Amino acid sequence: MNDHVPLKKLHIKTYGCQMNVYDSERMVDILRPLGYEVSDKAEGADLVLLNTCHIREKAAEKVYSEIGRLKEMREEKEARGEGRMTIAVAGCVAQAEGKEIMNRAPAVDLVVGPQAYHQLPELIARTHRSKGERLSADFAPEAKFDALTMDRAVSGPTAFLTVQEGCDKFCTFCVVPYTRGAEWSRPVKSILDEARALAAKGVRELTLLGQNVNAYNGLDADGLESTLAKLMYALADIQGMDRLRYTTSHPNDMGQDLIDAHRDLPAVMPYLHLPVQSGSDKILRAMNRKHGRQAYFDLIERIKAVRPDLAISGDFIVGFPGETDKDFEDTLDLIRRVGYASAFSFKYSPRPGTPAAGMPGQVPDDVADARLQTLQALIIEQQQAFKEKLIGQTLDILFEKPGRLVGQAIGRSPYLQSVFVEDAAHLIGQIHKVKIIANSNNSLKGELA
Ligand code: SAH
Ligand code: SF4
Ligand code: F3S
C-alpha cells in the first residue's frame, strides 16, 4: 500500500447472482489502489457501494430501504466530523432504474451500471468535485474487461471468473437482457491470463460465470471462435487448476463438445446447473424458453449417458401467468423424473417492461405461495436423498476454510455439497480423499481417508 495515500473505508453490499459477487470483488480491486480498504460494516464508511439485483421485485425494493438506512448513517458520520459518506448504487437496479433512483433517492451520489464500474475511480472523483453530481454509465463490456487488473485479491482456493455476459434469449419474465445487455464473450487470452494469475495465488477451482455461460464463443489467439468446452481444456492445462465448474447454462446451448468434456476432462466437475423453469409445455412456450419438456429429458439423458453420477441442479418459477394446477403438476412430474441434487425456486414476480408482466391469467399470491411450498418440499426431499446416497463413498474434497470447531475444515464435494471434517485444518487449500460418514442438515460429515 502506498504510504502517502490516506486509508479510506469502503463498504460493499452485494445482492443477486454470482456475477454480482464477481463484480463486487473486481470493484474492490479497482478501488484498492486509491486507498480504499474493505470494511465489513457500513457505519463510518467513506464509500458505500450497493451492488444491486433487479431480478425480482423484492430484490429491487431492498435497495431503497437500504439507502434510507445509509442516509442516517451519513448524517451521524458528518455530525461526528468524520467527513462525508459517498453512497453509490451499482449493478442491475442501477442499470434498469438509474433515473428513478436519482429521483426517488436524492441521497445517492452515484449510479453505475454493470458494464461501467471500471470507471468508478473517475466517477467518484467527479462526484467529490461537484458535491453530489450523480452519474450513470452504460453497456460496453469490452472496455470494462480491458480495464480490469489481472492482479485480483483472492480469499481461499476457489474463485469466480466471468467469461460471458448478457443474454439474447428474452425469456418473457426476465429483466437480464435489459440489465446486462446483449450476449458477449471475453477473448480466450484475457480469461487465461486471469486464471493463471489466480492459480499462482493458490486457486484450485474456478467457477466460470455467464448469464448463458454455455453460449460462450470468445475469440482465441488465431481469431477463431472458441467454445466453452475448448476454453475448459485450455484452463485445465494451467498448473494447479484442478477443478472447473460453470454456471448458468441454457438447455439450448448444451453443445456436444461440452457434453463430451463431462466424459473426457477430469477437471470438469460432475455438477450441472441447468434451469428449466417449468415442466409444462404450454408455460415453457409462454416463457419463450424455446424448448419443450421432452427436449429437456432427452438432453439430461444424453449427459447422464456420459456421466451417470452427474448432479443436476435447476431453477423453477411457480405462478407464471396462465399456470394452472395441471401445469404445476407437470412441473412436479418433471422434477420427479429428473431427480435434482439441488434447485432454486421462485414465485413469479412481474417485472416492469417484460412481456409476461402484461399477460392475462396472473396467478393469485396465495396459490403461488402454496405451489412454491409444495415444490420446495419435493426438492428438499430429493436433495436429502442425493446426500444420503453419498454416505459410505470416498470423495475428493477441496478444503476451503476452517470450520466452527478447532481443527475442523470445511470443503466441497465434486457434487458441491459442503463437507466438514475434524483435524483437517492443515489441509485447507488442498484436495484430499474423504470418506462420507453422515448427512448433517445442510452439509455432510466426513473423515480423512
Ligand atoms: N440465465 C439464467 C438465470 C437468470 S436469473 C437462466 O437462463 O436460467 C436466475 C433465475 O431467477 C432464473 O433462472 C429464474 O428462475 C429466476 N427468475 C428470473 N426472472 C424472474 C421473475 N420475474 N420472477 C421470478 N423468478 C425469476
Ligand atoms: Fe433471463 Fe432467460 Fe436470459 Fe436466463 S436465458 S438470463 S432466464 S432471459
Ligand atoms: Fe440479479 Fe443482475 Fe444477476 S438482475 S440475478 S444481479 S444479472
Q: What is the DSSP string of 82-121?
A: --PPEEEEEHHHHHHHHHHHHHH-TT--EEE-TT-GGGHH
Pocket flag, ligand 1, residue 139 (CB < 6 Å): no
Of the listed ligands, the closest to the CA of 248 is: 1
How far, in Å, are 103, 149, 217, 251 from residue 185 at the CA level? 34, 18, 6, 18
**183 and 116 co-located in one domain:** no
For ligand 3, residues with CB inside 6 Å are 16-17, 19-20, 53-55, 91-92, 175-176, 179-180
For the CA of 175, the closest atom of ligand 2 is 1
Domains: count for the chain: 3
**Mutate which of 56, 176, 178 for ligand 2 pocket (most atoms within 8 A of beta carbon):** 176
**238 and 320 co-located in one domain:** yes
Q: Among all chains, which residue has been given the C-alpha cell 460462450?
A: 216
Quote the mean pLDDT of the chain.
94
**133 and 159 co-located in one domain:** no
Last residue of a domain, one of 138, 166, 195: 138
Interval between CA 409 and ligand 1 midpoint (Å): 33
Q: What is the pLDDT of residues 365-399, one digit of tens each?
A: 999 999 999 999 999 999 999 999 999 999 999 99
pLDDT attached to residue 139: 63
Pick the more confident residue, 133 or 206: 206
Residue 303 CA to residue 254 CA, distance in Å, equals 9
Of the listed ligands, the closest to the CA of 354 is: 1
pLDDT attached to residue 128: 79
For the segment 95-116, the average pLDDT, to the nearest whole number, is 90
Q: What share of the chain is helix, strand, coil (3-state, %, to 5)?
A: 40, 20, 40
Last residue of a domain, one of 87, 115, 138: 138
For the segment 46-56, the average pLDDT, to the nearest whole number, is 96
**359 and 312 co-located in one domain:** yes
Interval between CA 55 and ligand 1 midpoint (Å): 7
pLDDT at 1 over 60: no
Q: Are 170 and 122 in contact (CB under 8 A)?
A: no
Q: Is residue 311 part of a domain?
A: yes
Q: Are 209 and 249 in contact (CB under 8 A)?
A: no
pLDDT attached to residue 131: 59
Q: Is residue 2 part of a domain?
A: no
- Which CATH number belongs to the domain containing residue 414 in this structure? 2.40.50.140
Pocket flag, ligand 2, residue 180 (CB < 6 Å): no
Interval between CA 264 and ligand 1 midpoint (Å): 31
pLDDT at 39 over 80: yes
**147 and 273 co-located in one domain:** yes
Pocket flag, ligand 2, residue 177 (CB < 6 Å): yes
Interval between CA 167 and ligand 2 midpoint (Å): 6
Q: Are 141 and 328 in contact (CB under 8 A)?
A: no
Cβ-based neighbours of 299, under 8 Å, separated by 6 or more: 251, 254, 274
For the segment 255-260, the average pLDDT, to the nearest whole number, is 97
**168 and 266 co-located in one domain:** yes
Closest residue by Cα to residue 90 from 65, 144, 53: 53
Pocket flag, ligand 2, residue 176 (CB < 6 Å): yes
Interval between CA 178 and ligand 3 midpoint (Å): 11
- Which CATH number belongs to the domain containing residue 303 in this structure? 3.80.30.20
pLDDT at 2 over 50: no
Least confident of 13-17, 113-117, 162-166: 113-117
Q: Is residue 1 part of a domain?
A: no
For the CA of 248, the closest atom of ligand 1 is 2
How far, in Å, are 102, 198, 229, 256 from residue 272 at the CA level? 40, 23, 14, 15
Q: Is residue 3 part of a domain?
A: no
pLDDT at 132 over 80: no
Pocket flag, ligand 1, residue 275 (CB < 6 Å): yes
Domain coverage including residue 411: 394-448
> pLDDT-derived band of residue 18, with 50, 70 and 90 as boundaries?
very high
> pLDDT-derived band of residue 59, with 50, 70 and 90 as boundaries?
confident
For the segment 164-185, the average pLDDT, to the nearest whole number, is 95
Give the burial class of 350: count Cβ atoms within 10 A of its Cβ; 0-12 exposed, 13-18 middle, 19 or more buried: middle
**175 and 123 co-located in one domain:** no
Q: Is residue 221 part of a domain?
A: yes
Q: What is the pLDDT of residues 117-128, one digit of tens each?
A: 998 998 888 887
Residue 99 CA to residue 113 CA, distance in Å, equals 12
**Mutate which of 17, 18, 112, 165 for ligand 3 pocket (most atoms within 8 A of beta carbon):** 17
Q: Is residue 133 part of a domain?
A: yes
Pocket flag, ligand 2, residue 170 (CB < 6 Å): yes
Q: Is residue 248 part of a domain?
A: yes
Q: Are 349 and 58 in contact (CB under 8 A)?
A: yes
Last residue of a domain, one of 337, 360, 384: 384
Residue 194 CA to residue 189 CA, distance in Å, equals 9
pLDDT attached to residue 276: 98
- Which CATH number belongs to the domain containing residue 98 in this structure? 3.40.50.12160
Interval between CA 176 and ligand 1 midpoint (Å): 8
Q: Is residue 75 part of a domain?
A: yes
pLDDT at 144 over 90: no
Pick the more confident residue, 133 or 439: 439
Least confident of 86-95, 129-138, 335-344, 432-441: 129-138
pLDDT attached to residue 136: 59
> pLDDT-derived band of residue 302, with 50, 70 and 90 as boundaries?
very high
Closest residue by Cα to residue 312 from 278, 261, 274: 274
**95 and 55 co-located in one domain:** yes
Pocket flag, ligand 1, residue 289 (CB < 6 Å): no
Of the listed ligands, the closest to the CA of 18 is: 3
Interval between CA 56 and ligand 1 midpoint (Å): 8
**243 and 363 co-located in one domain:** yes
pLDDT at 336 over 80: yes
Interval between CA 356 and ligand 1 midpoint (Å): 13
**107 and 165 co-located in one domain:** no
pLDDT attached to residue 149: 78
Residue 213 CA to residue 8 CA, distance in Å, equals 36
> pLDDT-derived band of residue 61, with 50, 70 and 90 as boundaries?
confident
Least confident of 80-84, 137-141, 176-180, 433-437: 137-141
Residue 434 CA to residue 445 CA, distance in Å, equals 9
**282 and 176 co-located in one domain:** yes
For the CA of 59, the closest atom of ligand 3 is 1
Interval between CA 284 and ligand 2 midpoint (Å): 13
Interval between CA 171 and ligand 2 midpoint (Å): 5
**307 and 404 co-located in one domain:** no
**Residue 169, number of CB atoms within 10 A of its CB:** 18
Cell numbers given for 180: 446486462
Task: Please tell me the total number of residues recorded for the chain in this structure.
Answer: 449
Q: Are 368 and 404 in contact (CB under 8 A)?
A: no
